[in-house]
Amino acid sequence: MTRRPLDRRALFASGAAAALLAAAGVSAGPLPQRGGKLRLALSGAARGDDWVQGDGLFMQVARQGLVFETLTEVAADGILRGELATGWTVSDDARIWTFDLRRDVRFHDGTQFTAADVVESLGGIGDIAALAPYRVQITLDAPDPALPFTLSTLAHVIRPAHAAHAGIGTGLYRARHFAAGQQLLAQRVERHWKDGRAGWFNEVELVSIPSEIVRAQAVAEYLVDGADISDSNALSGFDDILVWRGQAVSRSIAMPMTVGRGVLDDLRAPQRWWGA
């Protein structure tokens, strides 16, 4: 990513802009800018990874941070909001949940997102049925008041019913090149329902670096913008690198507040950051 000095005069020019970003969990600070490339060095990748299996940090970020979406999401400020769902209702006993779905969403191959994709993706959660093209109902065996939070997690990403095992999602970034255990190049989709709220980088590159020492060196030499690093002393003395809770990120990256989490604990971080 091209590094630029942080312009602290670039504060929100209106209450409307501040309110919009606050709704996405963004605190007052530099105005988000569209453009550039984010590069992350991550652990946990393997040559056997694909878009269904592989649970290291590399594939977790690839799936939920870039390519796929879920029915709900926990924003950076810790508030639960709808993602592919626009709203939901629940029966008095917390067993029957009805979710209304977004109508303006397409998968990266151009296919329209519908309730059929939700039924196919969430088939293991209770009895799920499509009530209409954009409404699903989930009937649980036992009450679960926390179901909307559960559906925001990585295990419940929504995949296309016609290509469930492909790297085709509805997320802000489409997979342009994927080499299992090595690299993912993702391109920002041209138009997305989150435009103006997330997805500030034009490109995101994930590279697999198994060695923590080498990941730290890559950050120190500005070859990448961030990495997962467990040793908080690995980059001590670098004032332009934030090291916190097992992660290192260049201070040339602006990011929303993350409530109670490290910067990469939030798998959606790459779509919420921007170049400062």
In angstroms, rounded to a whole number, what is the distance separating the alpha carbons of residues 36 and 41?
17
Banded pLDDT at 86 (limits 50, 70, 90) = very high
CATH architecture type of domain 80-156: Alpha-Beta Complex (3.90)
pLDDT band at 260, cuts 50/70/90? Answer: low
**Radius of gyration from C-alpha coordinates of the chain:** 19
Every domain of the chain with CATH number 3.40.190.10 lies at 30-68+171-275
Q: What is the mean pLDDT of residues 253-259?
A: 76
The count of residues in the chain is: 276
Q: Which residue's structure tokens are 């790297």? A: 167
Delimiting residues of CATH 3.90.76.10 domain(s) in the chain: 80-156
30 pLDDT band, cuts 50/70/90, is low
Please say whether the beta carbons of 85 and 101 come within 8 A: yes
Would you state the structure tokens that stand for residue 72, as one six-digit string? 């709900």
Average pLDDT, the chain: 87
Does the domain made of 30-68+171-275 have the CATH classification 3.40.190.10? Answer: yes
pLDDT value for 259: 62
State the pLDDT confidence band at 91, using cuts at 50, 70 and 90.
Answer: very high
pLDDT digits (tens, 9 = 90+) for 117-161: 999 999 889 999 999 999 999 999 999 999 999 999 999 999 999
CA torsion 106→107→112→117, rounded to 10°? Answer: -130
